[in-house]
Amino acid sequence: MRAKPILLMTAHRLAILAYIAFALFPLYWLLKVAVTPNDLLYSEGIRLWPSRATLDHFDFVLRHSAFPTFFKNSLIVSGSTAVIVTILASLSGYALSRFNFRGKYWLVALMLLTQMFPLVMLVAPIFKILSPLGLTNSLTGLVIVYTAFNVPFATFLMQSFFDGIPKDLEEAAMIDGATQFVAFRQIILPLTLPGIAATLGFVFTAAWSELLFSLMLISGNDQATFPVGLLSFVSKFSVDFGQMMAAGVLALIPACLFFLLIQRYLVQGLTAGAVKG
Amino acid sequence: MASIDIANIRKSYGIHPVLHDVDLKIGDGEFVVLVGPSGCGKSTLLRMIAGLESVTSGEIRIAGKRVNELAPKDRDIAMVFQSYALYPHMSVANNMSYSLRLRKVAKEKIASVVSGAASKLGLDPLLERRPRALSGGQRQRVAMGRAIVREPKAFLFDEPLSNLDARLREQMRAEIKKLHKDLGATSIYVTHDQIEAMTLADRIVAMNGGFVQQVGSPLDLYDRPANLFVAGFIGSPGMNFFEGTYRNGQSPRFETKGGVTIPAQVHAELADGASATLGIRPEHVEIGTTAPDALKATVDLVEPTGFGIILHLSFGKAIFKAFTNDRAFLKASGEIPVRLPPERLHFFDADGNRV
């Protein structure tokens, strides 16, 4: 009687474990290469862990490369993009979810349309637009471009979260004496925290790992973000894998911290108990 | 507390009219119930009074002041929603005090008002809980508490009990009635449940298809329904109807389409041979009678409800129901004598209006 459920559960757990191992293996390999001394990189064959581990690559990356600058730039760009996009997307998502206005259908269609272009097509025109404004080779320029590209999707994301919050709640607030904006700020927004967290996380990682625009719009190490910075470990004659991987590991840290901070909101459905029994 | 005047209110969504010329005066402290089937416009009317729906034409006055253009927050009314609409991220106490905090009432005043309302509703031990940790009945109470802390001009209830189970609904119904007696607040209550309407209302407004069908005291609507809709909607089990022809003359009578002749009283408004509908409430049908004018009806089904017995009867194809408290009829079968007392009959003309 009981053997079958246990067997099924074991199989289920094993399948999940296998998937996790598969998904995380590249990260593991990143770490492994980062701690492998250069002389062992090609001489030991394929091993799960090098016979001798070292932190020299980390030391070099932090002290002798421009990586801290890349890191700081990336943090500024991704952080600002995430915050700006989330604010804009909250407002526009709320509008799309709650208001009926002329041209709403066309607005949504236009926003969808922006998501259909391969970004490569837009590199040249965007460069042409930003260049006379002095926004090439500038972090501000990158933030503007990233914001523009992320707002439509983030808006749809936020709209779906707002759609999930019963309209009764803000009507009750409005009868209690709130204006629509106060109801939005005090009642709806706190309930959308999971959605806001998800949007923040999504936009942050998208901006954090963006390479194409940052490569095209930024020249010189001062303003480069870290994906571009990683390329500096590739020289004409060799690739410094150890240092590149060490930089990669370091670049993972903020993303991990960020998700650690917001995971509480991601998993929690705050609206439980709002309406009905 | 205040009176509410609704004058020639219309509402349309685009080209679809949902309310037609509704006229209603609600007195200070009165408990008015809007009742009707789903989609009759009763909730829309309530939401227009609350300011959640715009007014297409006509005027709404609260305490004599036109409020058509006022935002909900400036109308000084409280509303209890069907879904309760409690703020999930706030404790019970904060849910109840939200309106007062928005109005920047002093903290001590808020604390005393909230604790007063909480003890009135039996919510004292729950004040620090979040709504999700409450049962349906408790949530309902918090929603009421949120409404009463403010002492608004009027209370609006939008089907507040329909998410509760039958037992709890009965209990909360009584509490609402008691609360109204205590506070004497002008209240408008929307429901599709005619029992709630009958038990709570000072006056019932029966609505159908966006039109007001009848306004009156519960017993008015029960005893003298203005038309077929009200007759059929009020009362449970519902009124029996027979279609047929009214015959005047020496012995006024009603001939059903199935050829049954039912003695009636004189109805001067109906011409001889006019087609009409006869209505009689199941509790007014006399069964097992020995009266000489008794008719024969076939028993199709016997439904015991504990309180009484509902008999499903028929004259040929015309089916109807009778309600009795006499348990002897539990075993009724075959044909039984039935009398429809002429003084209990309701007549409706071809347009469905009472004559």
Nearest by CB to A190, from B89, B98, B132: name it: B89
CA B347 to chain A, closest CA, distance in angstroms equals: 43
Residue A276 has pLDDT above 70, yes or no: no
The tally of CA atoms less than 13 A away on the side-chain side of residue B231 is 24
**For range A114-142, the mean pLDDT:** 87
**For range A15-37, the mean pLDDT:** 92
Question: What single DSSP character describes residue A186?
Answer: I
Nearest CA in chain A to B150: A176
Instruction: Report the distance separating Cα B337 and Cα B297, nearest Å.
Output: 6
Residue B47 has pLDDT above 80, yes or no: yes
Which residues on chain B are in Cβ contact (under 8 Å) with A169?
Answer: 85, 87
Give the model's pLDDT for residue A137.
86
Q: How confident is the model at residue B41 (pLDDT cuts 50, 70, 90)?
A: very high
C-beta separation of B312 from B274 below 8 A: no
One-letter amino acid for residue B92 of the chain: V
Mutate to test the interface with B, among A168, A174, A175, A180 (most CBs of B within 10 A): A175
Return the C-alpha torsion angle A25, A28, A32, A33, nearest 10: 70
Tokens 């923040």 correspond to A200
> Strand B4-13 vs strand B57-62: parallel, antiparallel, or unpaired?
antiparallel
Instruction: Report the distance separating Cα B198 and Cα B218, nearest Å.
Output: 5
Q: How confident is the model at residue A226 (pLDDT cuts 50, 70, 90)?
A: confident
Instruction: Report the distance separating Cα B239 and Cα B351, nearest Å.
Output: 18
Nearest by CB to B81, from A168, A179, A191: name it: A168
Residue A275 has pLDDT above 80, yes or no: no
Q: Which burial class, exposed, middle or buried, applies to B34 when counting CB atoms under 10 A from its CB (0-12, 13-18, 19+)?
A: buried
* Cβ <8 Å between B88 and A276: no
Across-strand partners of B61? B5, B66
Q: How confident is the model at residue B239 (pLDDT cuts 50, 70, 90)?
A: very high
Instruction: Report the distance separating Cα A77 and Cα A80, nearest Å.
Output: 5
**For range B84-111, the mean pLDDT:** 93
> Taking Cα atoms as reference points, which of A213, A197, A214 lies closest to residue A83?
A197
Q: Which burial class, exposed, middle or buried, applies to B327 when counting CB atoms under 10 A from its CB (0-12, 13-18, 19+)?
A: exposed
Q: Cis link prior to A152 (omega < 30° from 0)?
A: no
Residues in chain B: 355
A153-181 burial string, b = 16+ CB within 10 Å, else e?
bbbbbbbebbeebbbbbbbbbbbbbbebe
Residue B299 has pLDDT above 70, yes or no: yes
- Which SS3 state, helix, strand or coil, does residue A80 take? helix
> Taking Cα atoms as reference points, which of A216, A128, A211, A179 lies closest to residue B71?
A179
Q: Model confidence over B182-231: pLDDT tens digits?
A: 888 999 999 999 999 999 999 999 999 999 999 999 999 999 999 999 99
Q: Model confidence over A162-210: pLDDT tens digits?
A: 988 889 999 999 999 999 899 999 999 888 888 888 888 889 988 988 8
Q: How far is CA B76 from CA A101, A246, B71, B112, B182, in A?
A: 28, 64, 10, 21, 20
Tokens 């009421």 correspond to B144
Phi first, then psi: what are they for B187, rounded to 5°?
-135, 140
Q: How far is CA B58 from CA B45, B145, B154, in A?
A: 12, 32, 20
Give the model's pLDDT for residue A1.
53
Instruction: Report the distance separating Cα B7 and Cα A270, nearest Å.
Output: 42
Q: How confident is the model at residue A267 (pLDDT cuts 50, 70, 90)?
A: low
Tokens 């507390």 correspond to B1
Q: Model confidence over A240-260: pLDDT tens digits?
A: 888 888 888 888 888 888 778
Give the other-Cβ count within 10 Å of B24's Cβ: 19
CA B136 to chain A, closest CA, distance in angstroms equals: 5
Instruction: Report the distance separating Cα B153 and Cα B97, nearest Å.
Output: 17
Give the model's pLDDT for residue A273.
40
* Cβ <8 Å between A175 and B102: no
Give the model's pLDDT for residue A270.
42
Considering only residues B86 and A255, tell me which one the structure prediction assigns the higher pLDDT: B86
- Which SS3 state, helix, strand or coil, does residue B276 take? strand
Residue B25 has pLDDT above 60, yes or no: yes
Across-strand partners of B243? B277
Query: Which domains are assigned to chain B?
Result: 4-233 (3.40.50.300), 240-348 (2.40.50.140)
Query: Which domains are assigned to chain A?
Result: 76-235+254-267 (1.10.3720.10)
Give the model's pLDDT for residue A274.
44
Nearest CA in chain B to A275: B83
Give the model's pLDDT for residue A268.
55
CA A179 to chain B, closest CA, distance in angstroms equals: 7
Give the model's pLDDT for residue A9.
92
Four-residue CA torsion sign, B80, B82, B84, B85: negative
Nearest CA in chain B to A173: B99
- Percent of chain B surpassing pLDDT 90: 79
Nearest by CB to A166, from B71, B83, B136: name it: B83
CA A188 to chain B, closest CA, distance in angstroms equals: 9
Q: Model confidence over B129-181: pLDDT tens digits?
A: 999 999 988 999 999 999 999 889 999 999 999 888 888 899 999 999 998 99
Using alpha carbons only, give the angle B340, B346, B348 rounded to the nearest 5 degrees: 130
> Taking Cα atoms as reference points, which of B282, B274, B278 lies closest to residue B243?
B278
- Percent of chain B surpassing pLDDT 70: 100
**For range A28-38, the mean pLDDT:** 88
Phi first, then psi: what are they for A183, rounded to 5°?
-60, -40
CA A177 to chain B, closest CA, distance in angstroms equals: 4
